[in-house]
Amino acid sequence: MEIIRAKHSGFCFGVDRAINLAFTEAEKKGRKGRLLCCGHLIHNRAVVEKLESMGVTVIDSLEEAAAGDTVIVRSHGEPQEFYKEAESRNIQLIDTTCVFVKKIHDIVREAHENGRPVIVIGDRSHQEVKATTGWCGYEATVIGNTEEAEKYAALAASNDSDQNTPVIVCQTTIRHELMQEIIGVFDRYGLNYDLRRTICNATRDRQESCRELAKQVDLMIVIGDKHSSNSRKLFEIAGNNCENSIFIENAEDFLLKDGEKYTKIGFIAGASTPEWIIKEVISRMSDNVTKNMEQNPMMDFMDDIEKSLRLPKPGDVIDGKVDQVMDDAVIVNMGCKKDGILRADEVVLEEGQKLSDIFKEGDDIQAKVIKSDEGEGGILLSKKRLVAVENYTELEEAMENKEVINVKLVRAVNGGVIAAYKEITGFIPMSQLSDRYIENADEFLGQNVDVRVIRVDTKRNRAVFSRKAVLVEEKRKAVAEVWSNLNVGDIVEGKVMRFTDYGAFVDIGGVDGLLHISEISWGKLRHPEEVLKIGDIINVKILSLNEEKGKISLGLKQTQPEPWSLVGDKYQVGDVLDGKVVQTKEYGAFVELEAGLDGLVHISEIANKRVENVSDELKVGETVKVKIMEIDPEKRRISLSIKAAIPAEDAAEEPAEEPAEDAAEEAKDEE
Ligand code: SF4
């Protein structure tokens, strides 16, 4: 014998939530008022009795409640006035109205506020329908079957009115076929309508799996309360598709005396049937079957059932199927007795993206359990945290492989900055934010920067990043690159960065070289500032390289011709030129013709008179007219005369003291 449980069976998401909220409330201690439930929480005697034993009293209407009492609102919902009355009478509500039912309330309320007619397809005696009409001023037209649809459609079609297009909602638990039949009538009459598909998938799926299973088995068992409309509907569907079908409330009702005559038994439980009742029935079936069979094929089946009763724990990663996609959440079937709820804020959504853009009913889905039972019924799931797990794994790999990742600096905190990496964040200490000293991190906020992962703690969800490590590394690479391209003798462009007394430091593309004062000019300098400014861009020659010590010597004067090499072309004996007195001595004065090219004016050549003291006649820095008297390229000497440069009519008669040549020798010895 084979026994098959329907794919969709037992508590739906809404009932599960309602029961959890009610039991959580009933377990609370220290309540001042009474805990009441307006009507039976669900159509299941066992659950109702259990709640009563926990102190929950069932009342028929809010009139029976007093100020200070707490009233549980069932998953079917209540009309709008119920809430207003509770508030005005200081009655606290535990609202277990199913989110799908609440959605219907919102639709009809909005339609009513906009003056649009409302049609509810459903059973007018059902609490859900009664409550729904209470959200549109009880002005809805309730249509429960095709006859009523015919009447309504005929009247509407004959009414040549230009009334607004009616909004149609459906009771969550009606058969899909009924809705289609009624809509078919409207179509036949050519009516306009705005149909909102509000039939709950849980009901449709359960009915569908009941129909499918009933077709395959010899006996179909429906487990549910006799007062539960959805269980009765399941029995109806079972009867229409299987020759033998029975409706039981619990294990006591189950008498499978002639079980051996069935080879395949299917069973399904209504939306309000608790798992413990299903389990009892299975157990009873197992006993009966065992008595009648040599082997017990129920054992595997029981294992499967046990498995389905086990709930995933927080932290578990589950595989499931998308059961329903709503605006703010996705309901996930995880193959266990509770549904998973994946709220929109636990999904990574792009700007403007909706859940329906990325999930479809029937899709396979993987998510992380974040709460298994918080009185909200289903099991809370998160895609984000699953992504977060992946993100932390990526960080671990990046740290291990010394990879650079890109993060966004989002917030300054005490001692550093919070940086976002995909769906997680990490911390960058202030000291790791830059390769320079940072006092205030504000200038970095909003920037995307490359960082190294320097610590990851997946248990505590922590990560520490360093931007400095990346900058230092980049600089090191750049320096190595620069060094590999440098050769002694190369002329390179550089920027004057700073001065010292002995020269200037020049940046030549990421590394600094020293331009010694003696290498700046062919002439004599007291300070580099005499010819350079900070920020000047100059061409310099690499004179020496020491990569080990990181020292580079540069020369600027080497990029210009050495003055003596041009003397023959530029200067001739007899030329009269302007020169600058750069030094005075007892025997004469040195006059610079250009940087690096000095000539000597012997004391006897300074004036047409006897000169006792050179410095009485000439001052260092003074510009004088000189005549070239002699050029000796070999000895690198130029003899100059000031008095010879004086026009003849101005010249004085006084003779000089010493011959110029002797003085030049003297000067050379001093040099
Ligand atoms: S059947 Fe659907 S609408 Fe009704 S309580 Fe269950 S989940 Fe909510």
Q: What is the 3-state secondary structure (H, E, C) of 61-83?
A: CHHHCCCCCEEEECCCCCCHHHH
What's this model's pTM, rounded to 2 decimal places? 0.49
| Unique residue bearing structure tokens 């805990």 | 35
Backbone torsions φ then ψ of 46, nearest 5 degrees? -60, -40
Q: What is the CATH number of domain 201-309?
A: 3.40.1010.20
345-394 residue pLDDT tens: 888 877 788 898 989 988 889 998 888 764 445 688 998 888 888 899 89
Answer yes or no: CATH 2.40.50.140 is held by domain 485-559: yes
- Helix, strand and coil in the chain, % to nearest 5: 35, 30, 35
Q: Annotated catalytic, 128?
A: yes
Compute, in degrees rounded to 10, the torsion defined by CA atoms 433, 438, 439, 441: -40
What pLDDT score does 263 carry?
84
List b or e across 349-358, with b for residues whose CB sees 16 or more CB atoms inside 10 angstroms: eeeeeebeeb
- Per-residue pLDDT averaged across 2-22, rounded? 83
Residue of 101, 96, 174, 171 whose CA lies nearest to 378 = 96
Q: pLDDT by residue (tens digit) across 482-506?
A: 888 899 999 999 999 999 989 999 9
Q: Which fold has domain 571-670?
A: OB fold (Dihydrolipoamide Acetyltransferase, E2P) (2.40.50)
**100-195 — its CATH code?**
3.40.1010.20
User: Which of 126, 203, 273, 324 for mutating ligand 1's site (highest number of atoms within 8 Å of CB)?
Assistant: 203
Name the residue of 47, 75, 330 whose CB sits within 8 Å of the most ligand 1 atoms, as the mutation to test its pocket. Answer: 75
Q: Residue 18 CA: which ligand 1 atom is closest? A: 5
CATH assignment, 387-473: 2.40.50.140
Domain ranges of the chain: 11-95, 100-195, 201-309, 317-382, 387-473, 485-559, 571-670
Catalytic choice (78, 128, 592, 605): 128
Of 333, 349, 351, which is closest to residue 341 (Cα–Cα)? 333
> pLDDT confidence of 556, banded at 50, 70, 90?
very high
Residue 407: count of CB within 10 angstroms of its CB: 24
What pLDDT digit, counting tens, does each position of 518-542 carry?
A: 999 988 888 999 889 999 999 999 9
**Is 485-559 in the same CATH topology as 11-95?**
no
Residue 488 CB burial class (10 angstroms; 0-12, 13-18, ≥19): exposed
Q: What is the CATH number of domain 11-95?
A: 3.40.50.11270
- Give the pLDDT score at 161: 60
Per residue in 86-133, pLDDT (tens digit) is: 999 999 999 999 988 999 999 999 999 999 999 999 999 999 999 999
Ligand 1 centre to CA of 200 (Å) is: 6
Task: Map residue 238 onto helix, strand or coil.
Answer: helix
CATH topology of domain 317-382: OB fold (Dihydrolipoamide Acetyltransferase, E2P) (2.40.50)
Res 42: pLDDT: 84
Ligand 1 pocket, Cβ-based, cut-off 6 angstroms? 12-15, 75, 98, 100-101, 172-173, 200, 202-203, 271
